[in-house]
Amino acid sequence: MWEPSTGRLIRTLQGHTAEVLAVSYSQNGALLASAGFDRTIRLWNSRSGALVRTLNGHTGTVTSIAFGPEANTIASGSEDGSIRIWSTQDGALLLTLMAFDDDEWIAYNPQGNYSGSARAGKCIAWSIGATVYDFDQFFEKFYTPDLLLRVFQGKFMASAEPPDNSRKNM
């Protein structure tokens, strides 16, 4: 970390095991995030330089990070093809977004709730162990059309039960 007015080195943050490619400050300046080739996002106390937590989950190099406007979430983009939304409060993965050819996309949370474009089901399948299931088998139970809205409003889904919502055809 550098003092902007003088260019003086204030401190060096240590923790990544490979090159850092992205750095971002929260809007309130309390947190600093870093990410890179080690596939992790690290959150630091920007005043003390102490490591707050490490976010793990990407399977490729993390190339970009940005805090949400309220500093309760952080988005990360990776060479694994996903964008992930995390809670800065506890490090929980809140949402994974994936885009496919022909403008198809899907967003899902760790509990299995999902939303997506009209033909997203043609791009993915669910697997549990060695068994592969058709996307449409889970529509009635897990399709959540307002999933992104709920996540970005801070209504994080803490249980495996889907919210009570009206089901719409994709």
Give the span between the Cα atoms of 119 and 103, in whole angstroms: 9
Residue 97 has pLDDT above 80, yes or no: yes
Q: Is residue 8 part of a domain?
A: no
Q: Is residue 167 part of a domain?
A: no
Q: What's the pLDDT score for residue 156?
A: 61
Give the structural domain span for 62: 20-152
Q: Is residue 7 part of a domain?
A: no
Q: Is residue 13 part of a domain?
A: no
Q: Single out the residue of 30, 33, 49, 31 nearest to residue 41, CA to CA.
A: 33
Q: Is residue 74 part of a domain?
A: yes
Q: Report which listed range, 10-19, 55-64, 142-151, is most confident.
A: 55-64
Q: Per the confidence metrics, is the pTM higher than 0.75? A: yes
CATH number at 71 reads 2.130.10.10
- Number of domains making up the chain: 1
CA atoms within 13 Å, Cβ hemisphere of 63 = 8
Which DSSP category does 101 fall into?
G
Which DSSP category does 147 fall into?
H
Q: Is residue 103 part of a domain?
A: yes
